[in-house]
Amino acid sequence: MTNFAYAIATWCFLTGGYVAQLVGAVQGLVCLIAGTMIGVFLTTMPLALGCHRYGLEQMDFCTPSFGTRGIKILLIFYLINMLGWSGLILVMFGNGIQNILEALGVQTGDWIVGAGVALGFWLSYLMVTRGVHLLNLATSIITPGLGVLIAYMFYVLFRDYGWDQIAAAQPLDPGPDPMKNYLICVEMGVAGGISWFGGVGFLARNTRRRRNAIYPELIQLGFMMGVVCSIALFSALVIQSDDPTEWMIPLGGVYLGVLALVFVALANITSTAVSLFASGLAIRHVHIFRDRKWWQLMVILIMPCVPFVFWPNELYDMGDAFLAFNGTMYGPISGILFADFLFLRRQKYNLWSIFEDHPKGSYHYAWGFNWIGIGSLLLGQAVYIWLYNPGTGATHALFYYINPSIAACVVPAVTYAIGMKLLGWHEKSVRISEELRNRSNNPVGQRLIDPNI
């Protein structure tokens, strides 16, 4: 249930809208479903298996690959991803408020969007500081409602327009090269799937059985996300707008459209609250934040999102580049985790070592950084941008043959595996850990634990 709520979060609407800019319904459908499934597979397999087995959240799980201090670098990427998406969907929340008011005959200015963002962050703050049970309650209400909404949109699209009209609808603003447009949409699908990195561990650690940690994520975060994105794609194509809040009223009429907008608004708040919660857990890896009160952490996390209040639509228009940018961050990390957890260490991590705060700890490496992991991560980002620069839209000739996210996943995986094998770091870690454990049983010795719970 939690997987589905997260999966059909309104960032699926955003993604579908972005794809509608470039390709039509058939190609878009394939890009979104197939691309998302590949991306989810790459990020889910090592994360879900490992976080489920060891009860870890994703940042701690990255410690063996990046070092006890190296994961702080990943934390920056992680927070950019979580908070960036939260800002974008709250701009949608603000747009939704504007559209609801205008549908009810109330004239507003653009300022209402920024005000909506501020209101959205405040409501999310209230939800996340009142306890996890409130999040669970919210998702248990919102999820069925969103499911009904998605099904209703699907029904109305085919009732009022039919497949022929949907398939014939032209993309909103395609580039001159149809193949490049298609491949960029493939990349949006793959990067969108890989973007689930921020939530996979958090979801998997709450399941009992291994298969429950994997299949629901592949099916719901992967396939279902693709389906929801596709419904958004079809809506954008027939309404000829990439703004999800502009689809509801034309599709459902005034009353149902307003109701749908209200539900989408609530879903936006819930998704933002989940993202803030997960971000709060992650930021406690940094010592200065560890002993902060929970509400203080939430305020600290919301502060960088203030630009979304003042420049909501400008930042919203950069959302497709942000989506692709996520591929530069999580593609390499996913590849390195694949190589490390599944191949080098055969799904065996040392839990003590993940939390040991000692210079001779197994995952301390050199000054707390696994330079092989970090170097491979940077190489992966360079490979991605060399193939496709999401900021400028520039592509290399090889972009037509190699997907950037997959390349950014495979190349670091290979360099990481070779580097770790050559230095033998993955084997050395087991021996040092045993040494430390024996030392801790000695009355003179002391085990140092650096918890983040």
Q: Which residues bind another protein (CB under 8 A)?
A: 26-27, 30-31, 33-35, 37-38, 40-41, 45, 49, 52-55, 179, 182-183, 186, 208-212, 214, 218, 222, 291, 351-352, 355, 447, 449, 451, 453
Given the complex with another protein, which of 39 and 94 has the nearer CB atom?
A: 39
Residues contacting 419, CB < 8 A, separation 6+: 372, 375, 376
Least Cβ distance, residue 51 to another protein (angstroms): 12
Least Cβ distance, residue 100 to another protein (angstroms): 37
**Cα atoms in the 13 Å half-sphere on the side-chain side of 284:** 21
Tell me the C-alpha distance between 187 and 181, whole Å.
Answer: 10
Tell me the C-alpha distance between 102 and 58, whole Å.
Answer: 42
Least Cβ distance, residue 452 to another protein (angstroms): 9
Given the complex with another protein, which of 52 and 364 has the nearer CB atom?
A: 52
Q: 293 vs 60, 78, 280, 281, 288, CA distance in Å? A: 21, 21, 10, 12, 12
SS3 state at 176: coil
Least Cβ distance, residue 410 to another protein (angstroms): 12
CA geometry: angle 111, 115, 119, nearest 5 deg: 170
Least Cβ distance, residue 20 to another protein (angstroms): 16
Given the complex with another protein, which of 223 and 311 has the nearer CB atom?
A: 223
Given the complex with another protein, which of 34 and 137 has the nearer CB atom?
A: 34
Given the complex with another protein, which of 27 and 270 has the nearer CB atom?
A: 27
Given the complex with another protein, which of 124 and 364 has the nearer CB atom?
A: 364
Other Cβ atoms closer than 10 A to 110: 12
Least Cβ distance, residue 436 to another protein (angstroms): 13
Given the complex with another protein, which of 133 and 208 has the nearer CB atom?
A: 208
Given the complex with another protein, which of 211 and 428 has the nearer CB atom?
A: 211
Least Cβ distance, residue 396 to another protein (angstroms): 18
By the 8 A CB rule, do 384 and 319 touch?
no
Least Cβ distance, residue 208 to another protein (angstroms): 8
Least Cβ distance, residue 350 to another protein (angstroms): 9
Least Cβ distance, residue 398 to another protein (angstroms): 15
Tell me the C-alpha distance between 297 and 285, whole Å.
Answer: 12
**3-state DSSP helix/strand/coil % of the chain, to nearest 5:** 75, 0, 20
Residue 395, strand partner residues: 388
Residue 369, strand partner residues: 366
Given the complex with another protein, which of 121 and 234 has the nearer CB atom?
A: 234
- For 63, phi then psi, to 5°, come to -55, -45
CA geometry: angle 322, 48, 453, nearest 5 deg: 85
Which has the closest alpha carbon to 88: 194, 6, 191, 9? 9
Given the complex with another protein, which of 152 and 352 has the nearer CB atom?
A: 352
Least Cβ distance, residue 93 to another protein (angstroms): 32
Which has the closest alpha carbon to 29: 194, 186, 146? 186
Exposure string (b/e) for 118-145, b if CB count within 10 Å is 16 or more? bbbbebbbebbbeeeeebeebbeebbeb
By the 8 A CB rule, do 5 and 137 touch?
no
Given the complex with another protein, which of 414 and 449 has the nearer CB atom?
A: 449
Given the complex with another protein, which of 213 and 269 has the nearer CB atom?
A: 213
Least Cβ distance, residue 210 to another protein (angstroms): 4
Alpha helix locations (H) across 104-196?
111-129, 132-160, 162-168, 178-194
Query: What six digits make up the tokens of 218?
Result: 């592949």
